[in-house]
Every structure is written in structure tokens, then in C-alpha cells.
Amino acid sequence: MQIAVIGTGYVGLVTGVVLASLGNDVICVDNNPEKVEQLSKGIPPIYEPGIEEMLKQTLKDGYLKISASIAEATRRSELIFIAVGTPPAEDGSPDLSAVRAVANEIALNIDKYTVVVNKSTVPVGSGTMVEEILLTAGVPRHLFDVLSNPEFLREGSAIRDTLEPDRIVIGASSETAAKKLMELYEPLKRPMVVTDVNSAELIKYAGNSFLAMKISFINAISQLCERCGANVEAVSHGIGLDARIGKQFLQAGIGWGGSCFPKDVRGLIATSNRYDYDFRLLQEVININSDQAILFVKRLETRLGSFEGKTIALMGLAFKPNTDDIRDAKSLEIIEYVLQRKGNIRAFDPVATDMTRKVFPNITYTDSVYEVAEGADAVIVVTEWSEFRQLDLNRLGASMKSRILFDGRRVYTKEHAERCGFEYQTIGLKS
């Protein structure tokens, strides 16, 4: 198929490259000339396992083209995916200005029947909004259909999630348009949910909000465990074996971050407010998540007496492993808290250092995880990178001022850490 993907951020680039790898003729469009130049050379602007290799291969094979022209992309394509950013406004509702701008540009260039697909995470009513923009611009109704096709990508496994999704959601008011997307995704042999546009738009928000709720629930339970002497890992295992609940997203830690959960939970709250429903449950999900990391770092502050003059080492900066994304990362909250209390920060992350340096240029960054612990009064595990699980804790502690390990992701066991001479504290376990 002839496909255009407007926007080469995380969702747009992964979508475009994967569809090109399946043999479609794809043009990815971005309005940033520097980005277009870099992508054309096979250099991706994001860190994602496998994306650079796939980008270079699809460019080499001729299935992928990079452009700055929405006009060119519209005229040559039968399917257009809108995959631009929808950052949250102050009230939590998504900013749809980029979606509107793209829709207006598409409207000026449609010259044949075209299926326009909202791939960006957008609130209920966005499909209608795009449709009205096209109609207002004078595009005849028979020349287009607007669909919703939300993404469910996880950073760090986005390519696999695109090729092997749990389900493909298609929101359409036209059977012809729905069949066009079904034909596109047929090679993947995955379950497809075909529904109306409004329901498809809500599925994305509802799904991510439910997962965020599971994490906040187990984190609330972890606070109870610390007070009553229970072990949250045992509690999580016990309830996760219930087939009605499932074990996924029941790992206690210092909270969720990233680009999806914070934005989508707030987006669903804003949508609910628009329809006069007070979604108090989701507000509490946010509150629990906001408290989790600070409660943990306050435990360390109490243990040390204060952070003033102390050196705290952070293992991990990204909001999760296998990404350099620090949006709403708990590391940023912890760094800010320690610095405000006149403490010093040493930090290491396999890939997210450059991103964090833009926010905190004056803290100390190291090239290795062993180096980060040198002279530290305590170490906090912030991101559960797999390489951290293989560390020699004796070596890590050898250069520390005091062997205090606060494990915010339950990477280690208390028994192992104590055998290596560490005082060990973690989430959901009484100290």
C-alpha cells in the first residue's frame, strides 16, 4: 500500500519503519529539517532496540522515504496516519494543535479517496474534529474517511509490540475504510477489534489508565506492607496468580512515569470532566504515584539524618529500562529533592545520561555503574536495567563511604545484599 505517516516521534517512526519492513511504500514526514536530514541518513532521533537497523534497511530497500512535505505525502498516499505529539495542557487535556495543523494541510492536498487515520493518542471526539476540518476546507465527503487506530507500544519493545500486538483496534464509521486497515494489518495475523471511532479512542485511554491503576494499587499495598511487616512481593505473587487479576503490572516500585501513563490518565480525567463525570478513582491513582518516590527517598533522608553534604548515587535515570526517555521519570523527582536539601548527586544510566544532563547539567555523571558508587553515602536503584542484576555488589560497595542500598525497583534480595555487607531497604518490606 501507499502509506504516509505524519510525525516521526516515537509512535510515528516505529509505525512507519515497521510498515515499510512489511513491504509497503511508506513516506514518513516531519516538519523539522534537521530531523529529516538525520533520518534520511538512517540516524533515528530516539533510542529503541532494533530501530536503527530497521530504519537503515528499509531506506536501503527503497520501501521508506523521509520527507518534510505533507502535500507530497498526501497526494501519493491512500492511507495517511497522523502520529504527531499531543502533549498535555495545564488541565491535563491533550493539546491537539498539531493534529489540527496536519489535518488542515491534508485537506489542502486530497485529490482522491484517502483514509485518514488518527494514530496519535487523542480524546473522544477527535475523529469528528478531523472530519469537520476536512469538510470545512471543502473536501468532498466521498473523498475521505477518518479512522481511529490507537497504538499500544511499550518503549523498549516497540518494534515487537507493533509486529506482535495483543490486539489491533480499528475505529471506523465506514466498512470500506475499516477493510482498508484490516488489509494492511492482515499479514500480522493478530486479533482485530473493529468498533466505532469514539470507542476506539476511549480504549487507549482506558487501557493505560487501568494498568496505571494496578501499579498504584500494589504501591499502596507496599506502604501497608512496610507498616505491618508483610512482604509486598509475596502479596503480589499471591494475588497475581488469580486468573481474574493476573500478575502483570503488579510489581511494587517507586512509581510509573514515561510518556503514556501520566498523559493518558490525566487525559481520561480531563475527558471525564468534559462530560461532567468526576473520575475520583483515577485522581487517587495519580496521588498514590506522586507520593511513592518521595516517601522512599524520605526514608533514606531519615536514615542519614539529612542529605546536607551527603553524596547519593543513582543507578538508572530513564523511567524504565531499554529507553532513554526521562519524561516523568522518578529520577528527576529524587534528584530535585536531594539537591534542594543540599545533597550531592552522582548518576549513571546506560543510555539516558545525555537526556538528563539537559535538565540537571551540574550533577556528576559517570561512565560506569561501579564508578557511580565511589565515595557515596548511599545508593538508590531507580531503573531496573538488566545489567544491574548482574553486578558484583561487593565491588560496588568497596568504594562507598557507607554501604547503604535503597532498592527502589526490588532488583536485589535482602539476603544477597546483606551477605555483601549492605544495609538494604526496598519497597514494601519493613526496614
C-alpha angle with apex 419: 417 to 421, nearest 5 degrees? 75
Task: Check residue 87 and give its pLDDT.
Answer: 92
SS3 254: coil
Residues in the chain: 431
Asked if the domains at 2-195 and 196-431 fall in one CATH topology, the answer is yes
Residue 36 makes CB contacts below 8 A (sequence gap 6+) with 30, 66, 67, 68
Residue 345, classed as helix, strand or coil, is strand
Cell, residue 92: 491535563
Percentage of the chain lying above the pLDDT 90 cut: 98
Give residue-wise pLDDT tens across range 171-180.
Answer: 999 999 999 9
User: In this predicted model, what pLDDT tens digit does every residue of 273-306 receive, in sequence order?
Assistant: 999 999 999 999 999 999 999 999 999 999 999 9
Q: Give the DSSP letter string of 156-191.
A: TSHHHHHHS-S-EEEE-S-HHHHHHHHHHHGGG---
> Partners of 315 in the beta sheet?
348, 381
Q: Structure pTM? A: 0.93
Report the C-alpha gap between 37 and 29 in whole angstroms: 11
Gap between the Cα atoms of 251 and 274, Å rounded: 33
Rounded to whole angstroms, the Cα distance separating 399 from 373 reads 7
Positions in the chain whose pLDDT score sits under 70: none
The span from the CA of 158 to the CA of 224, in Å, is 34
Contact, 409 vs 384, CB < 8 A? yes
Distance CA(247)–CA(312), nearest Å, equals 33
User: What is the DSSP secondary-structure string of 9-37?
Assistant: SHHHHHHHHHHHHTT-EEEEE-S-HHHHH
**The pLDDT value given to residue 351:** 96
Q: In whole angstroms, what is the distance from residue 81 CA to residue 96 CA?
A: 15
Q: Please state the domain extents for the chain.
A: 2-195, 196-431
Residue 72 has φ and ψ, to the nearest 5°, of -60, -45
Q: Is 380 helix (H, G, I), strand (E, B) or coil?
A: strand
Q: What is the C-alpha to C-alpha distance for residues 168 and 201, in angstroms, rounded to an integer?
A: 13
Which pLDDT score is estimated for 219? Answer: 98
Residue 17 has what pLDDT?
Answer: 98
The CATH-assigned architecture of domain 2-195 is: 3-Layer(aba) Sandwich (3.40)
Active site residues: 260
**pLDDT value for 431:** 79
CATH topology of domain 196-431: Rossmann fold (3.40.50)
For residue 418, what pLDDT is reported?
97
Long-range pairs, 178-186, Cβ under 8 A, ≥24 = 178/147, 180/78, 180/79, 180/115, 181/79, 181/115, 181/117, 181/147, 181/149, 183/1, 184/1, 184/3, 184/19, 184/24, 184/79
Which helix (H) or strand (E) segment holds residue 134: the answer is helix 126-136
